[in-house]
Structure 1
Amino acid sequence: MPTEKPEPRAASLVFQRTLEFRTSRQGLLDVTREVAAVVAESGVRQGICTTFLQHTSASLVIQENADPAVLRDLERWMSKLAPESDEYEHDDEGPDDMPGHLRSAVTRTNEVIPVTDGRLALGRWQALYLWEHRSAPHVRRLVVTILGAG
């Protein structure tokens, strides 16, 4: 009786890069292109892309990329939710310090996106944004890890 040979499996891959972004002010910065470039460099065809922001006063969000009014509305809503104020106990780095932490607490510092056919499997109107919550410019570090098969 013939024995069946198992299908060859693609090698599992783990690939990681740390990206730096310079922010100039509060706001949403589209980082999709840079993260997609890491996915392409990894050679992973099927898997997941994890993104982790190494900061506590900025965050990551997946949001609409078609109408800029969405981003403006998000920023207005967030500034009402966690306004700059001299009422906070933690103000070592200025009046935007604690609101930055509050804003980060209600969003997140990581996102996971599927990788399909070597590309981020974002929806047509989706983008990955780094959301700077501080008024002053900062350098933000984003760790991108790709797990999957080539």
Structure 2
Amino acid sequence: MPIAHTILEVETQPGIQLYNLTPQIQAFIDSTAIAQGQALVFSRHTTTALAINEDEPRLAKDIQVYLQKLAPEGELAIGEQRHRYWHNDLHLRPNIPPDEPENAHAHLMAITLSTSEVIPIIDGRLALGTYQSVLLFELDGPRKRTVLLQVSGE
């Protein structure tokens, strides 16, 4: 069974951002001889995530608000109590680079989402539904991000 892979690179913007990877994924599939199989899309970072959903600007804003409420930057409110994220106590963590951000909130957002998606390939096309797109969620930008794309099949 043939397998092909590539690394997709995305320069992200500050804050929570969504990037539609579907055109890049389809372009890579088009460059292979694989017509029937599957595409594995894998985020290589702990503060990014992947999801299949609608790429619509107003929904993107709703997602940003939802994630910010789920894990607010700075500290977490639990009822009447406030909790400072332990991960953000950078001075207590070994081997931390000087430019390390306080980003516990981004890690928490990422674990509620997913780091990978598998999409069927049928007749050389991603078998996505009408409104579905493969979205990369930047949760701690700006950064240069990489996503592994592996397609297999025949």
TM bucket normalised to smaller: 0.7 to 0.9
Gaps of 5+ in 1: 1-11
Give RMSD over aligned pairs.
1.2
Distance 1:98 1:23 in 2: 18
- Sequence identity of aligned pairs in percent? 33
- Alpha-carbon shift at residue 107 of structure 1 (Å): 0.2
Q: Give the corresponding residue for 1:126.
A: 132
Match of 1:23 among 3, 7, 12: 12
Q: With structure 1 as the length reference, what TM-score do the two structures score?
A: 0.86
Gaps of 5+ in 2: 76-83, 91-99
User: Runs of 4 or more off by more than 3 Å in structure 1?
Assistant: none
Match of 1:59 among 49, 74, 86: 49
- Alpha-carbon shift at residue 68 of structure 1 (Å): 2.1
Letter in 2 for 1:33: P
Give the number of aligned pairs.
135
Letter in 2 for 1:94: P
Deviation digits for residues 124-149 of structure 1 (CA, Å, limit 9, x no counterpart): 10111110001x31011111000100
Match of 1:144 among 128, 131, 149: 149
Letter in 1 for 2:123: D
Distance 2:149 2:5 in 1: 6
1:94 matched to 2:83 = no
Determine helix, strand or coil for the equivalent of 1:55: coil
Larger radius of gyration: 1
Letter in 1 for 2:8: L
Q: With structure 2 as the length reference, what TM-score do the two structures score?
A: 0.83
Match of 1:81 among 64, 70, 74: 70
Q: Give the corresponding residue for 2:39.
A: 49
